[in-house]
Chains A and B, each alone.
Chain A
Amino acid sequence: MNTIVTITIDGKQINAEEGSMLLWAALENDIYIPNLCAMKEKARPSASCRLCFVEVEGMCQPVTSCTQPVTEGMVVRTRSPQVDRLVQTAFELLLSDHLLGCSKCPKNKSCKLQRIAKERKLKLTPKRLEMLEKDYPVDDSTDVFVLDRNRCVLCGRCVWVDHHAALVGAIGFSMRGIKRKVSTFGDKLLVDSTCTQCGECVKVCPVGALSFKKNLEVSIK
C-alpha cells in the first residue's frame, strides 16, 4: 500500500508516491530538472552528476532531487538564483571535460547535454574555464558500437545496466579523481573483454560516448 501525497513544484500541484524521489515525480509530470546520472531502477541514487538541484521549502540549501524523498505538502522550486548557479557551474565543469564539436558527434540533437543547455539557456562552450584536455583512444573494436571516452561524462549509467540489466560486468569505473574512467577489466579493448556486445549500455548513454555503428543502428533498434 503506497500512500499518494500531493506536492507543489513551481506552483503546480502534482501527486506522487510518498517516499519516491522528487526527480521522478517532477519528470513524470513534465517538469524538467536537468540530470545525467539518475536511473529510476537504481535502489540507491549515485547522486554524482550534481545537476538536479532544486529548492525545497524549509531547507536552507539546494538539494539534489534524485535523493530527496517526496513528503506530503512539500513545496519545491526548480529554479532560483542559487539553484541556477549550481546547475550552471556543474554544467560548465562537465563541458570543460567533454569533447565538444556537436556537429561531428553521433548524439547530435539527441544529446542530454544539448537538452540541458536548451532548457536552461546555457552555452555549450565553457566561458570561464579552460578546456581540460583528454586524449583517450577511441575504442571501436566491437562490431556493434563505439566507445569514445573523450565524450564521457562519467554518469555511470552504462556501468549500471551492464551490471544490473545485462548482467555481464564487462565494464566498470577505474582510476580515481580526474583520471576516473569507464574501462574493462585490465583496461583491455572491449572486444578482448567479456563484453557480449548486447548494446544495452549504448542505449542508456546520455551523450555521445557510446554510440552504435551506423550500419547496425537500425537492425539493433
Chain B
Amino acid sequence: MSNINQGAEKIYTDLKSKAEEINSAREDKTIVMVGTATCGKAAGAIDVREAFIEEIKHKNINAEVVEVGCIGHCYAEPLIIISKPGFPSLSYGNVDEGLSRRLVEDFLIGDDPCYEFALAALDPNDEFPTFSDFPRGVFEEKVILEQCGLIDPEDIDQYIAVDGYHALVNALGKEPGDVVEMIKESNLRGRGGAGFSTGTKWEICRNAIGPVKYVICNADEGDPGAFMDRSILESNPHQVIEGLMISGYAVGASQGFIYVRSEYPQAVRRINTALKQAREKGLLGENILDTGFDFDIEVFLGSGAFVCGEETALINSMEGKTGMPRHRPPYPAVEGFRGKPSIINNVKTLSYVPHILRKGVDWFKGIGTPDSPGTAVFALVGKVENTGLVEVPMGTTLRTLVFDVGGGIRKEKEFKAVQIGGPSGGCLPESALDIPIDFDSLQEAGAVMGSGGLVVLDENDCMVEIARFFLDFTQKESCGKCTFCRLGTKHMLDILKRITIGQGEMEHIEILGELALDIKNGSLCGLGKTAPNPVLTTLRYFMDEYVEHIEGKRCPALMCQELINFYIVPKKCSKLCSACVGSCPVEAIFTRDDGLKAIDLDKCVKCNSCPAACPPEYDAIIKVSPPEVVEELEKENA
C-alpha cells in the first residue's frame, strides 16, 4: 500500500509542480478574470469579456482575459477581478463595456486602479478593503465555495495548483474502509436536503454485497430560486469530480455518474471539459496515478423534472424509465442503479469530501454545530440587498444571514419572512429569525434545510400567495404516481387559489391543515412528504393573513390581484405629468376634466406598470384592498 502511494504521491508532485510553474509564469502578467457563470452571463459578462479582449488587443497590452465562475456576489454581476503585478487583486462589480474600456485605459495602462468602481480587494493590503472587511465577509466562511470565481474552471492546472486532487492521492493511500470511517467520523450530513449521514450511507453501500457498485452525483437542482449546485459545477467542477472519485474508491465502485439537468448547458460543458482534462492527466480512467484504481465518470443528462432529484426517481430516469420514485427500502445504497448498490450524493456533499480528506475530521467538526458540522451554502434571493451565493458556518442565525450577509431588505421595506429550502421548505417569520440554521432546528421550526434556496420576503409579499406559488410548483412537478401527492396537492392548490381570489371559506383552513398533514404522512416519496410544508408553515405563522383573505376579502400585502384595485390620489397627481398614461398597456388611464388622471377599473389589468411609472415626487398611485375601497375614496375625493 505505502509503496503504491509513494508512487502516486510522486506522480502528483510532478503534476503539481508543473501546474505551479504555469501559474507562477502568470504572476508577472496582468490577468482580467471575468465571472461567466450563468449569473454573470445573464447580466452581460460576455459583452464585458469581449470589450476587454478587444481593448487589450487594440492597445496592445500584455494582459490575459480569463473566464472564471461565480464568486457569489451575484447582485454585482457582471463582475470582474483584475490582478496586476504591483497591485492588490481587485474586484469590480456592475461592469459594463464603458467601464471595461476605462479600466483598460486607466488601470491596465495608466496604473490607476479606479478605486471608485472597485467592490473589494481579494487579499489584505494597505490600499483597499477586502471582502472580509464587510459584514458579509465577517460572517462568511468559505469551504466549498473558496475557489469559486477565482480559478478557471476549464483549466485543471489551476485546480491542481491549489492542492486539487491531493485529497484523492491521500485517499488512495488509505484502506477504502478507513476513508468511509473518516467521512463517518466527520459527521458530514447530506446537503441534498434531508441531512442523512454521508458516512453511514457510504458504509451501507460498502458493506452491500456485489462486485459492481456505482456512485452518482445528484446535480438535478430544480427548486425555484436555487442555483448553488449549478454555480459550483460551473465554477469548480474538479472539486465535485474529486469528491465523487473518493466516494467511488471508498465504496468500491469503478464507475461514477454525474446526473445533471440539460437546462444547465454551461455546467454540462464545464464538467465535460474537466473530465477530459482529468483523463489526460491520468487522474481519471484506468490505473489512476499508478495505484491500480480504475474509475471513470459519465455525465447523464436529465431532462429536468423536479421529482428526479429524488434518489429512486433519479435511478429510474437513468435506467431509461419514467422518472418516478420507487418505494424505499430497499435503499439505493443496497439496491440502486441497475439493481446494484449505489451511492447518490448531492454536488455540495461531494464537494466537502476532498476538504475533509485534506484538512482532517477535526478541522471539519470545528466548523458549525456538533450535530450539523461544516458550512451551509445558500442561494440568497428575493427582497434582499445582496443576492447571491453565500457560505456560512452551520449555526449562523437567519437574522445574520439576511441582515448582515445579505445586507438587509431592499428599499427599506419591512421584513416579513424567509422561504427556506425551496418548495419542500417552509416560510419562517420574524420570530424565527434567531434560530440557528442547522438540519434539526429548521425542521423543528417547520422548514427544512432543503438544498439551500433561501428567498427573502418583505411586507409586499402575501403569504397565502407565496404558499400558492410553491404549491403550484410541486403540484405541477408531482409525478402523479401516488394518491396523496397527485390528488392531495391538487385539492390544496384549488383551495389556495380560491382563497387568493376571495372565494375562500373559513372551513377551508381546516381542510387545508388536515390535507397537508395527511399528504405529509401518507405520500410515497420525499416530494409528496414535503410538498405541504409551505402551507403548514404559513398556516402556523401567518394565519391572520388567511383569515383576512377569507373574512375580510382583502389581501393585507396588496398582492393578490383579485382582491386589490389601483387608485390615483387626486391630491398627489400632477396635471403636468402623464407618465402613467404612457405606461398603461390597456389604455385604462384617462385624463379627467380637471386635468388629473384616473383609472378606468373595467379596463385595468392590474399590471403594476403605472405605480412604477409615477414619478417618486408625486407617488400618486396606490393599491387598495378590498377592491371596493376605491369607491369610498372616489366619494371622499369627489
**Do A89 and B524 form a contact, CB below 8 Å, given A50-B483, A173-B322, A178-B475?**
no
3 closest pairs, A vs B, by CB? Answer: A180-B480, A93-B487, A47-B327
Residue A80 is within 8 A (CB to CB) of chain B in the complex: no
Pick 23 A–B contacts, CB within 8 A, sort by A: A44-B326, A46-B327, A47-B327, A47-B524, A48-B482, A50-B482, A53-B522, A61-B521, A85-B518, A89-B484, A89-B522, A93-B483, A93-B484, A97-B487, A128-B514, A132-B491, A176-B322, A176-B479, A177-B478, A177-B479, A178-B480, A179-B480, A180-B480
When distances are taken between beta carbons in the complex, the residues of chain B under 8 Å from A62 are 521
A48-B481, A48-B524, A90-B518 given; 5 more Cβ-contact pairs under 8 Å: A48-B482, A48-B483, A89-B515, A90-B483, A177-B478
Chain B residue at minimal CB-CB distance from A132 = B490
B430-487 interface with A by 8 A CB criterion: 475-484, 486-487
B482 → chain A closest CB, angstroms: 5
Complex alpha-carbon distance, A53 and B483, angstroms: 13
When distances are taken between beta carbons in the complex, the residues of chain A under 8 Å from B494 are 130
What string of 1s and 0s marks CB contacts (under 8 Å) between A50-72 and chain B?
11010000000110100100000
A94 to B491, Cβ gap below 8 A?
Answer: no
A164 → chain B closest CB, angstroms: 15
B618 → chain A closest CB, angstroms: 46
Complex alpha-carbon distance, A178 and B326, angstroms: 18
Complex alpha-carbon distance, A154 and B324, angstroms: 14
B327 to A50, Cβ gap below 8 A?
Answer: no
When distances are taken between beta carbons in the complex, the residues of chain A under 8 Å from B491 are 93, 96, 129-130, 132
B485 → chain A closest CB, angstroms: 9
Residue A45 is within 8 A (CB to CB) of chain B in the complex: yes
Complex alpha-carbon distance, A12 and B328, angstroms: 28
Chain A residue at minimal CB-CB distance from B523 = A50
Complex alpha-carbon distance, A82 and B486, angstroms: 21
Residue A86 is within 8 A (CB to CB) of chain B in the complex: yes
**Do A177 and B475 form a contact, CB below 8 Å, given A47-B327, A132-B490, A154-B480?**
yes
Residue B42 is within 8 A (CB to CB) of chain A in the complex: no
Contact-size category for A = 20 to 34
Complex alpha-carbon distance, A34 and B477, angstroms: 28
Complex alpha-carbon distance, A179 and B478, angstroms: 10
What string of 1s and 0s marks CB contacts (under 8 Å) between B290-333 and chain A?
00000000000000010000000000000000100011000000
A155-200 interface with B by 8 A CB criterion: 173, 175-180
Residue A49 is within 8 A (CB to CB) of chain B in the complex: yes
What string of 1s and 0s marks CB contacts (under 8 Å) between B501-528 and chain A?
0000000000100110010011110000
Partner of A67 from the list B327, B475, B511 (CB cut-off 8 Å) is: B327
A177 to B484, Cβ gap below 8 A?
Answer: no
Chain A residue at minimal CB-CB distance from B480 = A180
A88 → chain B closest CB, angstroms: 9
Complex alpha-carbon distance, A178 and B482, angstroms: 10
Q: Which among A50, A67, A154 has the greatest number of chain B C-beta atoms within 10 A? A: A50
**Do A180 and B518 form a contact, CB below 8 Å, given A44-B327, A129-B491?**
no
A90 to B484, Cβ gap below 8 A?
Answer: yes
Complex alpha-carbon distance, A173 and B478, angstroms: 14
Chain A residue at minimal CB-CB distance from B475 = A177
Complex alpha-carbon distance, A173 and B631, angstroms: 53
Complex alpha-carbon distance, A132 and B491, angstroms: 8
**Do A176 and B478 form a contact, CB below 8 Å, given A50-B523, A89-B518?**
yes
Chain A residue at minimal CB-CB distance from B528 = A50
Complex alpha-carbon distance, A67 and B325, angstroms: 14
When distances are taken between beta carbons in the complex, the residues of chain A under 8 Å from B487 are 93-94, 96-97, 132, 178
Chain A residue at minimal CB-CB distance from B476 = A177
When distances are taken between beta carbons in the complex, the residues of chain B under 8 Å from A47 are 327, 482, 524
Complex alpha-carbon distance, A75 and B523, angstroms: 23
B521 to A177, Cβ gap below 8 A?
Answer: no
Residue B243 is within 8 A (CB to CB) of chain A in the complex: no
When distances are taken between beta carbons in the complex, the residues of chain B under 8 Å from A173 are 322
B327 to A93, Cβ gap below 8 A?
Answer: no
Complex alpha-carbon distance, A130 and B492, angstroms: 11
**Do A178 and B486 form a contact, CB below 8 Å, given A44-B327, A50-B522, A96-B491?**
yes
- The binding surface of chain B is classed by DSSP as helix
Chain A residue at minimal CB-CB distance from B491 = A129
When distances are taken between beta carbons in the complex, the residues of chain A under 8 Å from B484 are 50, 89-90, 93
What total of chain B residues lie within 8 Å of the partner, measured CB to CB?
28
When distances are taken between beta carbons in the complex, the residues of chain B under 8 Å from A154 are 480, 486
When distances are taken between beta carbons in the complex, the residues of chain A under 8 Å from B486 are 154, 177-178, 180
A interface residues, Cβ below 8 angstroms from B: 44-51, 53, 61-62, 64, 67, 82, 85-86, 89-90, 93-94, 96-97, 128-130, 132, 154, 173, 175-180
B339 → chain A closest CB, angstroms: 11
When distances are taken between beta carbons in the complex, the residues of chain A under 8 Å from B523 are 50
When distances are taken between beta carbons in the complex, the residues of chain B under 8 Å from A50 are 482-484, 522-524
Partner of B480 from the list A85, A90, A94, A175 (CB cut-off 8 Å) is: A175
Complex alpha-carbon distance, A179 and B327, angstroms: 22
Chain B residue at minimal CB-CB distance from A89 = B518
A94 to B511, Cβ gap below 8 A?
Answer: no
When distances are taken between beta carbons in the complex, the residues of chain A under 8 Å from B252 are none
Complex alpha-carbon distance, A146 and B475, angstroms: 30
**Do A177 and B488 form a contact, CB below 8 Å, given A50-B522, A50-B524, A67-B327?**
no
Complex alpha-carbon distance, A97 and B494, angstroms: 14
B313 → chain A closest CB, angstroms: 11
When distances are taken between beta carbons in the complex, the residues of chain B under 8 Å from A61 are 521
B317 → chain A closest CB, angstroms: 12
Complex alpha-carbon distance, A51 and B476, angstroms: 23
Partner of A94 from the list B327, B478, B483, B521 (CB cut-off 8 Å) is: B483
A178 to B518, Cβ gap below 8 A?
Answer: no
Complex alpha-carbon distance, A89 and B482, angstroms: 13
B283 → chain A closest CB, angstroms: 38
Chain A residue at minimal CB-CB distance from B477 = A177
When distances are taken between beta carbons in the complex, the residues of chain B under 8 Å from A85 are 518
Q: Which among A62, A64, A175, A180 has the greatest number of chain B C-beta atoms within 10 A? A: A180
A133 → chain B closest CB, angstroms: 11
Complex alpha-carbon distance, A48 and B525, angstroms: 10
When distances are taken between beta carbons in the complex, the residues of chain A under 8 Å from B521 are 61-62, 82, 86
**Do A180 and B481 form a contact, CB below 8 Å, given A61-B521, A97-B487?**
yes
B628 → chain A closest CB, angstroms: 27
Complex alpha-carbon distance, A115 and B488, angstroms: 22
Complex alpha-carbon distance, A46 and B523, angstroms: 12
When distances are taken between beta carbons in the complex, the residues of chain A under 8 Å from B322 are 173, 176
When distances are taken between beta carbons in the complex, the residues of chain B under 8 Å from A51 are 483
Chain B residue at minimal CB-CB distance from A50 = B483
Complex alpha-carbon distance, A50 and B485, angstroms: 10
What string of 1s and 0s marks CB contacts (under 8 Å) between B321-361 and chain A?
01000110000000000000000000000000000000000
Chain A residue at minimal CB-CB distance from B525 = A47
A206 → chain B closest CB, angstroms: 14
A89 to B514, Cβ gap below 8 A?
Answer: yes
When distances are taken between beta carbons in the complex, the residues of chain A under 8 Å from B511 are 128-129
Chain B residue at minimal CB-CB distance from A64 = B327
Complex alpha-carbon distance, A179 and B511, angstroms: 23
